[in-house]
Amino acid sequence: MAKGYWIVSLEVTDPEQYARYAQVVRPFLAREGARFLVRGGACEVREGSGRTRNVVIEFDSYTAALAAYESDEYQAMIHLRTAAAKGDFVIADGLEEA
């Protein structure tokens, strides 16, 4: 089964508020069995426009990635992120391994 991914690209506008979001989202993601593949760090935009903070989180499946986002628990913490950062949030289906 193909993995599912949260792909998030952000400009953090309030670092203190974003830190509060990080404190609650990390344990949530651990309980969901998700794994960070990219979490901040250096990046360089070579084409198009980009943002300064990029995050990629892997889930066991696309369905699991969607369910985590739509869960009541995550929905209750979204406002912490959106108050602290502006950006894009995509849920993507990974490639099926051959």
Which amino acid belongs to residue 23?
Q
CATH code of 62's domain: 3.30.70.100
| Per-residue model confidence as pLDDT tens digits over 46-95 | 999 889 999 999 999 999 999 999 999 999 999 999 999 999 999 999 99
Question: Is the residue at 22 inside a domain?
Answer: yes
Question: Is the residue at 55 inside a domain?
Answer: yes
Question: Is the residue at 85 inside a domain?
Answer: yes
Between 34 and 98, residue with greater pLDDT:
34
Please give the structure tokens belonging to residue 83.
């108050």
Model confidence, pTM: 0.92
Helix then strand count (H, E) for the chain reads 4, 4
